[in-house]
Amino acid sequence: MDDVAVMVAGGATASVVLLQHDGDVSTPELTGTLVHRRRLQVDFHVSDWFLYKSPRTCGGRPVLVFYTSRRFKQTRLSSPNRFYMLDENQSKLSEDLMEFRRDASMLNDELSHINARLNMGILGSYDPQQIFKCKGTFVGHQGPVWCLCVYSTGDLLFSGSSDKTIKVWDTCTTYKCQKTLEGHDGIVLALCIQGNKLYSGSADCTIIVWDIQTLQKVNTIRAHDNPVCTLVSSHNMLFSGSLKAIKVWDIVGTELKLKKELTGLNHWVRALVASQNHLYSGSYQTIKIWDIRSLECVHVLQTSGGSVYSIAVTNHHIVCGTYENLIHVWDIETKEQVRTLTGHVGTVYALAVISTPDQTKVFSASYDRSLRVWSMDNMICTQTLLRHQGSVTALAVSRGRLFSGAVDSTVKVSSRVADAVAAERRGRLHEFQTLYELSAEL
């Protein structure tokens, strides 16, 4: 005796009824004893089934009959993994479709916004020479890269990582790792340079002082009771940020002498920037501006979007990136908020500035794996770079080049197309001069 599976079609789900069939399977009569009923997702092999169209109906609904052999019953029906809920499958498809529609709607909105700005002439002329392109990748860390720092004098780039090391990269000639600095017992979260000294802050709560000329450790300071999140130097002082505290250190040779602790902070100090005579610190929905000479707080900016993760200061603006994807912009003179920049869909971990006589660009790095380029003349995003395979956590700039560190354990180098073309021309000119000198000797 063979089995007949009857699928009752219609509605959002389907039922399968297995019947012990007493007659010829080709007969339109559906008489038999109910053996099993369950809902299923039809993911079995078609070759295992024989579709039989029955002219009869079941409860006023069409009936599809599938003929199976005993072998199928023993091998297929014995495995519970072969049957799933049709309604669950349809629900998942519906969710995927809704998500796709939301993404399409967001894309259409952004395109409409750009189109409107183009029609209004806000974007200005498009210059492909100003576009930034990724020119290379530094590979070597065994964990996420959390901080970057450039020593312009020697064209060196320092990167700190979850692998507890600092790598020293040549950014001028060999483009290779020159050395790996080891000494911390925790994640390296912050890097800063003052003179010929490199300062590194770590989750191990210490600050290590390194001599850049010898690339050797010269001192270790137990700085905070909590991880050292941020470091910045100015006026021969080092500022270190941690949980609800900023410590001010006098730099005396290889020593750090505690000068003062700045208090009144409401959360982790994840952003710390020194510009001219002011120190800018970011914590939970607050930016405090401190006078570096008096070490007193002179202004407080209230933000939205959660904790402040990054700060950048230009000639005209104070810019901050927040936990909730936003970038706020204030006028540096009036301290009035002038714009909120949107576009990222993840925490804005880092900000950097490249200024020329003609324009100022702000770069933002985000959890969403993207880098965005913002023109501060008209406050719009002019480019989005997607080159990393993980969240972009750190930025540094040097000689018009942008360095980005990410959770994918790499550091990438980007530069303007115009700069790359100029460098190529200089290389060809040097080549020509060398050949000319050789031919003259001959």
Full set of structural domains in the chain with CATH: 137-428 (2.130.10.10)
Q: Decide: 307 and 281 in contact? Cβ < 8 Å.
A: no
φ and ψ at 69, to 5 degrees?
-95, 170
> Which contiguous run of DSSP H or E holds residue 74?
helix 70-75
- Cα–Cα distances in Å, from 45 out to 76, 82, 199, 395? 10, 10, 64, 53
Q: What is the C-alpha separation between 400 and 353, in angstroms, rounded?
A: 10
Cα–Cα distance, 315 to 355 (Å, whole number): 9
Structure confidence at residue 416 (pLDDT): 84
Tell me the β-bridge partners of 200.
Answer: 191, 208
196: DSSP letter: T
End-to-end CA distance of the chain: 100
Q: CA angle, 81 as apex, 78 and 82 as ends, to 5°?
A: 75
Tokens linked to 339: 């714009």
Main-chain dihedrals φ then ψ at residue 177, nearest 5 degrees: -70, 120
Query: Which pLDDT does position 5 carry in this prediction?
Result: 45
**Is there a contact between 275 and 292 (Cβ–Cβ < 8 Å)?**
no
pLDDT given for residue 437 in this prediction: 55
Q: In what order do the strands lie in the sheet with 206-211?
A: 188-194, 197-202, 206-211, 216-222
C-alpha–C-alpha distance, residues 145 and 226, integer Å: 20
Q: How far is CA 83 from CA 21, 39, 409, in A?
A: 22, 7, 42
DSSP 8-state code for residue 45: -
Rounded CA separation 134/383 (Å): 13
pLDDT, block means (10 residues), the chain with 442 residues: 43 42 40 40 37 42 45 46 57 75 66 55 51 93 98 91 98 93 98 96 98 97 97 97 97 96 95 96 97 97 95 97 96 96 96 91 96 93 93 95 97 80 49 49 51
Give residue 117's Cα distance to chain centre. Answer: 27
pLDDT at 111: 62
pLDDT score recorded for residue 79? 46
The whole-number pLDDT of residue 18 equals 44
